[in-house]
Amino acid sequence: MKYIRKASLIIMLIMMLYITLEHIDNLDRNLFENGVYKELNENTKVCEKKLLLSKGLNNCFEKTFDLEVISRNNYCKTIAHRGYSNIAPENTIPAYKMAGKYGFYGAETDVYETKDGYYILMHDETVDRTTTGSGLISQLTLEEIKELTIDSGANVSKYPGLRVPILEEFFIVCKEYGMVPVIEIKNISNPIVFIDLIKKYGLEDKCIVISFNRKLLENIRNINKNINIQAIIDITIDNINYCKKNNFDIDTSYKVVTKELVSYAHSKDVKVNVWTIDDIEMRSKLIQYGVDFITTDLFTN
C-alpha cells in the first residue's frame, strides 16, 4: 500500500510537471508569434532576454522599449532648445545652467545683433514678447536692452530682475558645463567678427552654427572650414546633396523625416538634427530612424 501511494504521488508530480512545461511552451510560442523574440534578438543581449522573459509579457514590452532607447541614445545627442526652456525662461542664463545641470549634450540659442554691434540672445526680432520693453533689437543698443527685465517664460517669477544675456555669457556657461553651443544666427552684419568671437572662446571646432540663411552659412564656410554648420532646411534628397556640397549637416523639422532620408544623409556623411521633439513616441521613432541630434524643450540625455 505504501508503494502504491508513492507511485501515485510520482505520477501526479510528473503530470503537474508536464502541464507546467506545456504552459511554458505555449507562452513561448505566443511570445514568438507576437514578435517579442524577434525584438529581443535585435535589441538586447542574452542576459537581458532572460531578465525580460522572467518578468512576463507586459514587462517584456515595457523593458524592451526602455533598453532600445538607452542603447540607441548613445548615438543620438540631445540639445536643449533655447536652454532648458521647460523649467526656466528661454534664452536666459538660468535656462542654460539648468540644461548643463541636467546633462544635455548641447544647448541651442538664437542670436541677434544690436544697433551698436553686440550679439544678444533672443528668438524674436523685437524685445516685446519676453521683456518689459518694446522695439526692434537692431534699433536698440546693448545698454538699452540691458535695462530691460525678462518678464515671460517658464517659472519666470523665480528669477526677479533677469536680464537679456549676450553671446559671451552663453559661451561661458556652455564651457562651464561641457555643453556644445548651438548658435542659430538670426541676424548678424559681419561673419568675420562673429567667427573671431567663437575663436576667442576656443569653440571653433566645438560649436554648431545653424541658420535658415543659406547665403550666410555659405559665407561662413568660405571663411572658415572648421566650424560645424547645420542648414535649417527640410530634409530632402536635393537638400541633402546641397549640404554635402557645402560641407554642412542638416537641421530639419521632424514632420518631414523618414528613415530612408536619414540613411541617405548618412551615406553622404551628412548628420541629421531634428527639431523640436517633445513627444516621447516621436522621440523613440526618430531614434530608431538613426537621427544624430534631437532638439527638445523637454527631454534630457
Could you tell me the CATH number of the domain that includes residue 242? 3.20.20.190
- Which tops the pLDDT comparison, 17 or 271? 271
Tell me what pLDDT residue 10 has.
61
Quick check: is 238 in a domain?
Answer: yes
194 and 266 fall within a common domain: yes
116 and 136 fall within a common domain: yes
160 and 177 fall within a common domain: yes
- Can you say whether the dihedral through the CA atoms of 247, 249, 251, 254 is positive or negative? positive
Q: Which residue has the cell 566650424?
A: 227
Q: Is 81 assigned a catalytic role? A: yes
Express each pLDDT in 171-209 by its tens digit: 999 999 999 999 999 999 999 999 999 999 999 999 999
Express each pLDDT in 28-85 by its tens digit: 444 333 443 333 333 333 333 333 333 332 333 333 333 233 233 458 999 999 999 9
Summarize the confidence of residues 82-98 as an average pLDDT.
97
Q: Which one is catalytic: 77, 81, 82, 271? A: 81
Quick check: is 301 in a domain?
Answer: no
Summarize the confidence of residues 249-276 as an average pLDDT.
98
CB-based contacts of 9, cutoff 8 Å, min separation 6: none
Q: How far apart are CA 99 and CA 296, in angstroms?
A: 11
Q: Which of 40, 70, 100 is at the close of a domain?
A: 70
Helix H or strand E segment including 231: strand 228-232
Q: Which one is catalytic: 72, 123, 146, 244? A: 123
Summarize the confidence of residues 73-102 as an average pLDDT.
93
- Which tops the pLDDT comparison, 126 or 4? 126
Q: Are strands 106-113 and 119-121 parallel, antiparallel or unpaired?
A: antiparallel
Tell me what pLDDT residue 15 has.
56
Q: How far apart are CA 154 and CA 178, in angstroms?
A: 24
Residue 181: which domain range?
Answer: 77-296
Tell me what pLDDT residue 135 has.
98
1: pLDDT strictly greater than 90: no
Quick check: is 33 in a domain?
Answer: yes
179 and 261 fall within a common domain: yes
Q: Is 123 assigned a catalytic role? A: yes
59 and 90 fall within a common domain: no
Quick check: is 91 in a domain?
Answer: yes
Tell me what pLDDT residue 182 has.
98
Quick check: is 12 in a domain?
Answer: yes
Which of 268, 272, 270 has the alpha carbon at shortest distance from 251? 272
Sequence-separated contacts (24+) of 56-60 with Cβ below 8 Å: 57/27, 57/30, 57/31, 60/31, 60/36
Q: Which of 52, 70, 88 is at the close of a domain?
A: 70
Residue 83 contacts residue 90 (beta carbons within 8 Å)? yes
123 and 63 fall within a common domain: no
Distances (CA, A) of 50 to 2, 56, 64, 70: 42, 11, 12, 18
66 and 177 fall within a common domain: no
Q: Are strands 249-253 and 228-232 parallel, antiparallel or unpaired?
A: parallel
Summarize the confidence of residues 156-168 as an average pLDDT.
97
138: pLDDT strictly greater than 60: yes
- Dig out the grid coordinates for 115 from the structure: 544697433
Average pLDDT in the chain: 83
Tell me what pLDDT residue 300 has.
76
Tell me what pLDDT residue 176 has.
97
Q: Are strands 119-121 and 180-187 parallel, antiparallel or unpaired?
A: unpaired
Which of 217, 210, 208 has the alpha carbon at shortest distance from 246? 217
Q: Which of 30, 45, 70 is at the close of a domain?
A: 70
Tell me the Cα Rg of the chain: 27
65 and 43 fall within a common domain: yes
Instruction: Report the domain count for the chain.
Output: 2
Tell me what pLDDT residue 14 has.
60
